[in-house]
Structure 1
Amino acid sequence: MAIKSIMYFLPSRKRVIFAILAALFEIAATVVTPVAVMDMIDNPLMDAHMSILNYLPVLMILFIKLLISSFHYLMLSNLAAGLLKNLRLKIWEKILRLPIHFYDSSSNGETMSRITNDTVVIKDFFTTETFSIISGIVYLVIIGVIIFTIDWKISLLIFLSVPVTLILISFIAQQEYNISISIQRETEEFQNRINKVLYEIRTIKTSQAEKYESTQGQKIIKNLFHLSILENKIFAFIQPCANILLLFLFLVIFGYCSIRVSQGSLSAGQFLAIIFYLYELTGPVTIFGSFSAKLLKFMVSADRINQLLGEEEEPVISGELSEHLLASKDIDVQDLSFGYYDKRMILQSINFKIRKGSVTAIIGESGVGKTTFFLLLERFYQPSSGNICYGGVPIEDFALYEWRKKIAYVSQEAPLMQGTIHQNLTYGIDNCSNEELIQALSDVGLLEFIEGLPQGLHTNVGERGTNLSGGQRQRIVIARALIRNPEILLLDEATSHLDSTSEFLVQNSLNRLMKGRTTIIIAHRLSTIRNSDQIVIFKDGKISGIGYHEDLLENNSLYCSLVAKQEKSYNMP
């Protein structure tokens, strides 16, 4: 099943046919060469008329074999490159289409290993092992028939020695497989650790956790080292034993053939042809011995990739906005409930309405489901029950691309991608004019700053935007949202990590962005929420109150408590 599913990724049929034909022609040239040598040596005129013409047929065959071998290698290499490209393209598209909950339960190292290591294992198996095993079978059959035609006793001796060789090589291959699987697991763990360290290097340093991470990394590196040493020991002992056995079998056959030649029952040409064929048999026999272990390794990699490709994707992305989504409409939350995989309900039957073009603030203690509501609104997760409706239509009924195109999300982290300011501003946006960029930067108060940079818009922001201040990063994110021109704006603690000066600048930028848009704010600061059209209070996954700032101060004890806590924190010396 794994082989059948992976065959779908083979390149064009023409390449496969060319590779097969090249392999067959190479087999034919290989098989014919010893026969030509045998005829040349056993020719009675050979001794009497030594001439280059005597060698011409053999030289021609060898030259043709060289050309065919080169063509076969080229076809096989192209086939391998095409298979690897198709596999990686499919997996790349897949990981971009997988829902967020897949990444909640999967490590980055494992996913990286599938697109890098597993694809190479599959490529090597299909384009090297599969072709080699088929070619090897053809070699064995043809060479067996030819040697049997030359001398059946020698053919019997050769093919009795094949099982002994196969058993030894299979044992070596099985040890290699066991070690390689262990190395693969440790390599994945190491990739996970590297990914974590690189991504969280600032947290590691501020937490003074270098020693801990050093210990963890050393442990994995030492495990990989010990596995490599074990692998080397196995090959240091077994490989020479295998070579000695192969040499012994070769010498036995060589000695037997020499005796037959001295007795006159075997010609010199026949002897040389058998030696040629015996040499050609070592390749297929070695391949047969290691095939089972490599097949197991392939099956593991193929199953891992099939498992990834079988994961449920997000809904199919489409293009233009449907007519129903062209005009701004109300958002209606109806009996919405949601729980993560531990089945604990984060949101429980919440109901409220967000008028188009209004500003709604969602407040509450940490962990009550505020950010979870945003995730459901963006359709990163599906509700356990209930609906979020847009103009009376459940948002799940809209094409995912159409729905997310209407939303811009500004979070407290202000995430920027590695690259330039220009690339971050236009990330995921098609056909953005230079005038739109300048206007957006002007609106957020960054135009003068960016024009003063040596490389302007093409200045690199650094990993996660570290070359910029927090306020500058936040305003670039806001400028990107302005360029996107969203209808629905989600602000998640957008100014919580900023100093007072940066907060003032960012808040002015946000005010421009919020104008005329349906805005939903998660915030703790009173200055951010008091002028909202409505404030929704979450408590324990439920709604504890909805209303204006003044109304809630008079009628809602929880809101009064939250406001009092905040005022107290502001007044603390």
Structure 2
Amino acid sequence: MDQKKYSWRNFFQLIISAKPANWIIFCALIASVITTVAGLVVPLFTKNLIDGFSIASLDIKMVALIVLAFILQAITNGFSIFLLNYMGQKVVATIRERLWRKIVHLPVSYFDNTKTGEMVSRMVNDTVVVKELIADHLPQFVTGIISVVGAVIILFFMDWKMTLIILVAVPITALVVAPLGQKMFKISKGLQNETADFTGSISQTLSEARLVKASNAETRETEAGHKGINRLFGFGIREAKVVAVLGPLIFFVVMGVIVGIIGYGGIRVSAGTMTTGTLIAFLLYLFQIIVPVTSFATFFAQLQKAKGATERIADILNEAEEDFDAGKKVDVSGKTIRATDISFSYNEGEPILKDVSFDTKPGEVIAFAGPSGGGKSTLFAILERFYQPKTGEILVGDIPLSEISINSWRSQIGYVSQESAMLSGTIRDNLCYGLDREINEE
């Protein structure tokens, strides 16, 4: 997929297509609002407590309200985080189910051109990136944004001049963070692709361990693995550089704002235009803004990584899959199979089969003889409907094979390849693999 074509709209459409439950989102947002409100009233109570503070006039009711606000904030915050995490896990599980169903139903030609390890990487590694975004970073972002908005509104009512000092830092930080975020997307995209290629290469090498040993290719594979590891290391270093800039940058801005607020507030308190309680409350609200804002940089970096990860997931989901049920359901027993002028090539200009014709009658035993690479396995792959012939036609009785549903056709034929695959499980499991009916062992 072209990078220009994969936009944020595509990214969010993929997430929304997982159909997150609306009631979970609603309840989580309500809990987040309650959490924010409970947190926002604490500095107001603190302000009143400090401005009128003395041991003799200590307001027990005020202290109790502060404690109650803390308890309510903790409970609703935990509830909100759990619901948003649940939603995130559910969304990612749905994406994984869609991706797995798509992979299983893709045609054989797709697997010929794609490494198995690469698909495994998309299924596992890329979806983990999305899971971390939705389940871990999104809850913090949602609760944080509500807290920031609420705190800023209260601060404007308390002292709009001091609030402006905070807001001045926002556009300055955004101008620097935005290009870094775009760079993170490019690095993440490259990292995910390189991870998929590396996974595919080592999976292939490990699956052919006997060939590696028999060919004395250990040194060659060691060097190939070393190059792949170094490429991954390079992407990791580039990603670390971006993160290393983002973190200190946000910290620098935050500390500058804190120092500015304390200095300006101290002058106002000395001049008698601001009470000590108001300054303390202002600083408490400032920390309610700082803590979420410092996590926003991490969230947006993860958002860029998730966008890069979902690009290849979307590529797989957009692939055309085999339609197993399209066509006729035909009982093929006792019917003649007739092939006429079958031609086929995997690559243009490199024919494997050319004008092959044959008839098979019920009960006949037919042998196809020829050298290795002559097209015998390809011919059976065409009969299995793994591929469509470039020219020619295959008839089952009087019905073209292409008009019979794949499900109906494959359920009535058996194929034992030269190297039969064995799946994990018992011999019975392997013998009955794919059968949709009960087998009588007697």
TM-score by length of 1: 0.69
Deviation digits for residues 240-272 of structure 1, max 9, x if unmatched? 454244223211212211222232222222212
Secondary structure of 1:332's partner?
strand
Q: What is the one-letter code of the residue matched to 2:420?
A: A
Cα-to-partner distance string for 1:431-472 (whole Å, 9 max, x where unaligned): 444625xxxxxxxxxxxxxxxxxxxxxxxxxxxxxxxxxxxx
Please tell me whether residue 273 in structure 1 is matched to residue 296 in structure 2: no
**Residues 277/28 of structure 1: CA separation in 2 closer, same or farther (3 Å cut):** same
1:39/1:285 CA distance change after superposition, 3 Å: same
Residue 338 of structure 2 corresponds to 332
Larger RCO (CA under 8 A, 6+ residues apart):
2
Aligned to 1:70, the other structure's residue is in SS state helix
Does residue 421 (structure 1) correspond to residue 427 (structure 2)? The answer is yes
CA gap 1:335/1:102 in 2 versus in 1, 3 angstroms: same
What SS is found at the alignment partner of 2:320?
Answer: coil
Pick aligned residue for 1:362 from 358, 368, 371 = 368
Q: CA deviation at 1:184?
A: 2.6
1:205 correspondence with 2:213: yes
Q: For residue 253 of structure 1, what is the aligned residue in structure 2?
A: 261
Q: 1:107-506 counterparts in 2 under 5 A?
A: 107-127=115-135, 135-170=143-178, 173=181, 176-229=184-237, 231-232=239-240, 235=243, 239-240=247-248, 242-286=250-294, 288-289=296-297, 293-317=301-325, 322=329, 324-325=330-331, 327-433=333-439, 435-436=441-442
Three-state SS of the structure 2 residue aligned to 1:361 is coil
* Matched position secondary structure for 2:17: helix
AA matched with 1:8: S
Contact 1:162 1:285 (8 Å CA) reproduced: no
Alpha carbons of structure 1 residues 32 and 316: separation in structure 2 relative to 1, 3 Å: farther
Cα gap change, 1:46 to 1:54, in 2 (>3 Å): farther
Q: Distance in 1 between matches of 2:37 and 2:334?
A: 72
The alpha-carbon distance between structure 1 residues 73 and 120, as it changes in their structure 2 partners (threshold 3 A), is same
Instruction: Give yes or no for contact 1:170–1:293 (8 Å, CA) kept in 2.
Output: no
Partner residue in 2 for 1:18:
27
CA displacement 1:473-530 (0-9 Å, x = unmatched): xxxxxxxxxxxxxxxxxxxxxxxxxxxxxxxxxxxxxxxxxxxxxxxxxxxxxxxxxx
- Higher-Rg member (1/2): 1
- Describe the shift of the 1:298–1:222 C-alpha distance in structure 2 as closer, same or farther (beyond 3 A): closer
Amino acid of the structure 2 residue aligned with 1:21: I
Deviations 1:418-441 (A, max 9, x none): 3333332222234444625xxxxx
Alpha-carbon distance between aligned partners in 1 of 2:221 and 2:53, rounded to the nearest angstrom: 78
Counterpart amino acid of residue 163 in structure 2: S
The answer on whether the counterparts of 1:92 and 1:115 sit within 8 Å (CA) in structure 2 is: yes
Question: Contact 2:182–2:304 (CA<8 Å) still a contact in 1?
Answer: no
- Give the ranges of 4+ consecutive aligned residues of structure 1 lying more than 6 Å apart after TM superposition: none
* Structure-2 separation of matches of 1:191 and 1:109: 5
What is the one-letter code of the residue matched to 2:310?
A
Cα deviation, residue 40, structure 1: 3.2
- 1:95, CA displacement in angstroms? 0.6
User: How far apart, in 2, do the equivalents of 1:65 and 1:197 lie?
Assistant: 54
In 2: Cα distance, 1:17 partner to 1:343 partner? 59
- The 5 A counterparts of 1:490-569 are none
Which range moves more in the overlay, 285-294 or 72-81? 285-294
Contact 2:85 2:136 in 1 (8 A): no
* Distance in 2 separating the partners of 1:338 and 1:326: 24
| Residue in 1 that maps onto 2:4 | none
In structure 1, runs of 5+ residues without a counterpart are: 437-573
Deviation for aligned residue 1:293: 4.5
Secondary structure of the equivalent of 1:329?
A: coil
**Secondary structure of 1:429's aligned partner:** coil
Residues 3-22 of structure 1: CA distance to partner in whole angstroms, max 9, x if unpaired?
A: 12331103333222222322
Unaligned runs of 5+ in 2: 1-8
The aligned counterpart of 1:8 is 17
Is residue 192–residue 308 contact of structure 2 (8 Å, CA) maintained in 1?
Answer: no
- Residue 40 (structure 1) aligns with: 49
The separation in 1 between residues aligned to 2:242 and 2:303, in whole angstroms, is 20
Q: Take 2:94 and 2:217, find their aligned partners in 1: how far apart are those partners?
A: 41
Letter in 2 for 1:362: F
* Contact 2:105/2:321, CA 8 A, preserved across alignment: yes
The alignment partner of 1:6 has SS state of helix
Deviations 1:145-186 (A, max 9, x none): 211110111011111122233345446555654544443333
Is the alpha carbon distance of 1:224 and 1:307 closer, same or farther for their aligned partners in structure 2, counting shifts above 3 Å?
A: closer
2:37 maps to which residue? 28
Distance 2:270 2:240 in 1: 44
Q: Deviations over 1:534-558 (max 9, x none)?
A: xxxxxxxxxxxxxxxxxxxxxxxxx
- Match of 2:363, SS state, is coil
**Deviation string, structure 1 residues 396-432 (Cα, Å, up to 9, x no partner):** 2222111101111112212212333333222223444
Asked if the contact 2:165/2:257 (under 8 Å) is kept, the reply is no
Distance 1:316 1:29, change over 3 A: farther
